Structure 1
Amino acid sequence: MAKKANARKHSGLSAAGRFTPGELKGLGSCAAVVGVVTPCIWGFYRFVLKRVCEMLEIG
C-alpha cells in the first residue's frame, strides 16, 4: 500500500490530477526557450540557404 501512495506522490500530478504551480512554471520556461530558439534556427537556415543558392547560382 505504501508503494502506491509513494508512486502517486512522485507521478508529477497533484492529488487532484492537476499540474502543480512549479511544474507549470517549468513548462512555461521550456515553451519560452523553444519559442526563442526556433526562430533563431529558422533564420540561420534561411541565411545559409540563401548563401548556398547564390554560390551555386540557382534561384
Structure 2
Amino acid sequence: MAACRQITVLRLPPYHCELNPIELVWTQKEEEKMWELDNLIDVVVEPLIINLGDEDSLSDSEHEF
C-alpha cells in the first residue's frame, strides 16, 4: 500500500526512546503510574513485621553450638 503511493516505511527498533519519541512519553507515563502505586501501597498497606524470636524464647539446647 505504501509502495503504491511512493511512501517509504521506516521501521524503528522497538522500545527505543531516542528514535521513537512516543516510547519516551509512554515510558514516562508508566513510571509516574508506578510511583503513584508505590505511594498508595505505602499509605494503605500496613508494614509486615516478622519476628523470628528473641534469645529469651530459645531453649537451653538451642543456645549450644
TM-score, normalised relative to structure 2: 0.44
For the pair shown, the structure with the greater C-alpha radius of gyration is 2
TM-score, normalised relative to structure 1: 0.47
